[in-house]
Structures are given as structure tokens and as C-alpha cells.
Amino acid sequence: MLLTSFPAGPLQANCYVVAREAGAGCAVVDPGMGAIEGVRAVVAEHGLTPRAVLITHGHFDHLWCAQDVAKEWDCPVWIHPADRHLLSDPMAAISNESAAMLRQQLSMTDMPEFVEPADVRDAVDGAVFDVDGVEFTVDHVPGHTPGTLFYRIDYPDSDEVSQVMFSGDFLFAGSIGRTDLVGGSHDQMIASLRDRVLPLADDIVVLPGHGPQTSVGQERVVNPYLERLAEGGTF
């Protein structure tokens, strides 16, 4: 399996590219602000062709370049229906003050006209779809946004890793996503962590939207939020 990533944009959001092998079709996960040149470089280096864009949630630092990738390679965009409207209006997910600050930081040439890509597909809980030989399973985990998702794939290249999970801004190394932004929910975050993360196998590698990779087993030990939930508590 070919799996690589690079941080992009002012918030250094991780964009991932995954394919069964060099020269194959690939999925691009969370092409956020400033990611398009990185995507072009990765696909050129490995002879890949983007066949799908996968969005973990609707924040601008994770979907800014989704329409660019979809248009350039004529591929669909997968996103949960609850966050779909943010493809054409990503500023709706942040406060008016934050949106105004972002617009001030960008020149008119840097601020694209956001439109929904031509082919948008609903990534709903339990959905399974194939991208040129790589099978993705969708887990809906609201809390950070109403439409936050995990995408999981089997990982056949190691006996020590059963799956890889793209967790967006829901689960990080040692932390979890914010719930104080537009659409966030503390109660939903707790429920998603308890019901959808704690039952997962320890050997699942977690690839978050920011920062280094981790694993479910590692987070059981070092993540204070998961520790409390595992002990029957809350936060």
C-alpha cells in the first residue's frame, strides 16, 4: 500500500494520499487550504491518478481545495450530508469574527469562489466504497462538527497493524477536537468517543487532521479524555 501525507496551509492540516500501489488510482483525504500543489507533487512522484476526495469534516482547513482536486481529475467528493453545505460556504462553520479575519489575511486572488463540486456523494455511517482496490469504511462521529467522519481501511502490509483510520479533527495524539465551534457538541463528542472509539482494536493506527500519528491503544493510555470514559467517567 502507498500512503503518504503532507501538512498544508496556515493551520498545517494534514492532507493524505492513499493508493494500493504506485501507478494506481488514489484517494485524497482532506485537501485543505494550500494543498493543491502538494497533491500534484505526490501524484506526479508516484504516478497516481486521484479517483476520489474524502472529507472528514467541513472546516475550511480540510476542504479548501476539494473542488480544485475534483475538477482537475474529474473525481467525486465524499462528505457527510450534515457538512455538505460547507463545500459551497466553508465560512459558515466559523464565527463571523474569524471569517472576517481570514478574509483580511487573504488577497482577492487567494479567495476562491466556492461552489459544490459536480459529483458529491454522501458518506454516511456504515457506508463502504472502493477506490481502485482500497476499501474505505465510514464511521459517523459527530461532536467536532455535525458531519465529522472517520474513514477506515485495512492495512495488509504489517502484522502489527490491522487498520488505518483517518480521524480528521476528532481524535488527535493525546487530545480530541474542539466542540466550541459552530455546530460542535460536547455531549455528542462524549457519545462518539465512548461508543465509536473505545470499542476499536488497539492496533488501529490513527492519522489525525493535525500533528503526528498515534494508535487507538496508545490513546487509551495517554489520552486523558479516553481514560476517563474508559473508567466510566466523563469530562
Block means of pLDDT (10 residues each) for the chain, 235 residues, are 96 97 98 96 98 97 96 98 95 69 58 88 98 98 98 96 98 96 95 97 98 97 95 92
The answer to whether position 53 is within a domain reads yes
Inside any domain, residue 13: yes
Nearest-angstrom CA–CA distance, 141 and 170 = 8
> What does the pLDDT read at residue 138?
98
d(CA 176, CA 108): 34
Q: Which domain holds residue 150?
A: 2-230
Note the pLDDT of residue 66.
97
Residue entry with cell 476542504: 63
How many domains does the chain fold into?
A: 1
What is the per-residue pLDDT for 108? Answer: 44
The whole-number pLDDT of residue 103 equals 62
Given this model, what pLDDT does residue 155 score? 97
Polymer length in residues for the chain: 235
Report yes or no on 206 lying in a domain. Answer: yes
Q: Which of 98, 118, 77, 68 is nearest to 180 (CA)?
A: 98
Q: Is residue 235 domain-resident?
A: no
Residue 81 belongs to a domain: yes
Its pTM stands at 0.94
Cβ atoms 64, 36 nearer than 8 A: no
Cell 465524499 found at? 78
Q: What is the pLDDT of residue 112?
A: 72
Is 54 within the bounds of a domain? yes
65: domain CATH number? 3.60.15.10
The answer to whether position 20 is within a domain reads yes
In a domain, 72, yes or no: yes
- Return phi, psi of residue 78, to 5°: -100, 130
Give the model's pLDDT for residue 98.
60
